[in-house]
Amino acid sequence: MFDSFTKMFPRRVLVLGVSAAFGVLASGCSTIGPNFVAPKTLDTPRYRHVEASAAAAPVVQDSARLPATWWTVFNDATLNELEQRALRDNPGAKAAAQRLLQAQAQLGVLRAGQAPNVSVNAGLSNSRTSAETSQALALGGRSIEGNNFSVGAALSYELDLWGRVRRVVEAADAQALAAQDDRDGVLLMLSGQVAQSYWQLRGLDAEQAILRDALAARREAQQLVEARFDAGLTNELDVSRARVERANAEADMHDVQRQRNLVEHALAVLVGVSPSTPLLPAVARPVLPLPPTIPVGLPASLLSQRPDLAASVANLRAANAQVGVAEGMFYPSLTLTSNFGYASQSLRDLAGGSARQFSVGPLALSLPVFDGGRNKANLALYKARYDEALANHENRLLTALREVEDALSDAQQRQQQGDVQAQAQQASARALMVAQARYERGISTYLDVTDAQRSALGADRAAAQLRTQRLLASVAVARALGGGWSQAAPLATVR
């Protein structure tokens, strides 16, 4: 029989396999598969669109970070309250938390594979054998019947000599950490959306205040023109122009209110309440603050500031561990099983020494010899998945850098645009004052007044919109930099 076996598998292969197994046993436990190497970070020295003064100043990494509750830099109590409500009550945040709990539970399931599996069992049975079988006929045609009581314990344990189970746990640990980072990413996105919606709402309130003042001025101007028309001092065309400007201002009021309703509905959903319930009353005279200073730091710090990039690294670690698991399929597995307990026909004799029964083994060794290339293809599959995860991570890193540069560029250009717009606002206000004075003296027609009114109103609304856009740009910068996020401690440490 041994000769036929050696014909199927050469003696040299068997000797090498046995020698390798005993060599590993002698050298102690090891871990198969490649150890994880963190991907390279960005080599960009600084951000392109950061201010020159900030770029020239030395950067201290600990100081170049936002606080954990990053929205507090706006120093707005209403925004702080909305953020807290959203993080507590938003259904998407709750779902992300449940996904994290699922990943932690899955990690616990797989970590249990590193420990022996011990079970306790007890049984009661009544049986009778046939008197017509060959065994019964050999005993004189007798059947065997009676009760059987048993109690015992069983142990099963896979000796993880090559570290396959450790790689499985390492992959699960990385996936749980990725789920934790994904949860933090959802919270970061949610807080950014709340801040954006809030400042959009306050910006629309500022536009409404401008339009209310303009509408009041248009009504006064219409009454003045109509009085002049009744006195024969002007013509009907000026009256029509005054009525048109008043109606346009009123129509703009309704359009801004429509936009505000949409933003308020979206904000209500973000904080987890019904949009049918009014969330924030309109502010009669809102004051839009100047955007806060956002500490930028260096591009290389993005990995530690953005949860999506940290989750990408964790997924890359999990893919690397899966390569080790696939390599482990080429190695033999060694499993130890044992049983110990008592069995007796009588319950009162169950605890007696003569009722004791036990078994140690088998110490089962399973060595893959021929699988049609399944393990080789499986290893190639997981290596390709790792390479894909690495390419996806590099793409996410570049995308994150683009998002920061976009946000910094937007904030920089909005500031410069706002400075120029302030000049246009002053000039249009002066032009309106001059046009009204010239009309009242009869030097010019009412057409000059309406043109000046449109210019002044457009400049005032543009200035309010730019102040809103500057606040939104600051939110975008904070969100692109990861807010005040910092990665929590790993859920488990694999040794």
Could you report the per-residue pLDDT of 39-80, keeping only the tens digit for each? Answer: 887 777 788 887 643 443 344 444 567 888 999 999 999 999
Across 412-425, average pLDDT: 90
Rounded Cα distance, 455 and 435, in Å: 12
Tell me the pLDDT tens digit for each residue of 86-112: 999 999 999 988 988 888 888 888 787
Lowest mean pLDDT among 14-28, 398-412, 449-463: 14-28
- Predicted confidence (pLDDT) at residue 491 exceeds the cutoff of 90: no
Question: What pLDDT, on the 0 to 100 scale, is given for residue 136?
Answer: 65
More confident residue, 361 or 281: 281
Tell me the pLDDT tens digit for each residue of 299-332: 888 888 899 999 999 999 999 999 988 888 888 8
Mean pLDDT, the chain, whole residue set: 82
Crossing angle of helices 307-328 and 164-230, in 10° steps, is 160
- Predicted confidence (pLDDT) at residue 258 exceeds the cutoff of 80: yes
Question: What pLDDT, on the 0 to 100 scale, is given for residue 200?
Answer: 95
More confident residue, 337 or 16: 337
Highest mean pLDDT among 29-43, 321-335, 380-394: 380-394
Question: What pLDDT, on the 0 to 100 scale, is given for residue 9?
Answer: 35
- Predicted confidence (pLDDT) at residue 365 exceeds the cutoff of 80: no
Please list, in sequence order, all residues whose beta carbon lies within 8 angstroms of the beta carbon of residue 372, skipping any fewer than 6 positions away: none
Report whether 117 contacts 155 (CB < 8 A).
yes
Tell me the pLDDT tens digit for each residue of 449-470: 888 889 999 999 999 999 999 9
Q: Is the pTM of this model over 0.75?
A: yes
Tell me the pLDDT tens digit for each residue of 155-166: 777 777 787 888
Across 293-303, average pLDDT: 84
Q: What percent of the chain has pLDDT over 70?
A: 87
- Predicted confidence (pLDDT) at residue 27 exceeds the cutoff of 50: no
Question: What pLDDT, on the 0 to 100 scale, is given for residue 51?
Answer: 66
Question: What pLDDT, on the 0 to 100 scale, is given for residue 489?
Answer: 64
Across 338-364, average pLDDT: 73
By CB atoms closer than 10 A (0-12, 13-18, 19+), residue 127 is: exposed
Question: What pLDDT, on the 0 to 100 scale, is given for residue 87?
Answer: 93
Question: What pLDDT, on the 0 to 100 scale, is given for residue 122?
Answer: 80
HSE of 88, CA atoms in CB hemisphere, 13 A: 7
Rounded Cα distance, 303 and 481, in Å: 10
- Predicted confidence (pLDDT) at residue 21 exceeds the cutoff of 60: no
Across 19-28, average pLDDT: 39
Across 428-434, average pLDDT: 91
Rounded Cα distance, 221 and 213, in Å: 12
- Predicted confidence (pLDDT) at residue 351 exceeds the cutoff of 80: no
Crossing angle of helices 236-270 and 446-480, in 10° steps, is 10
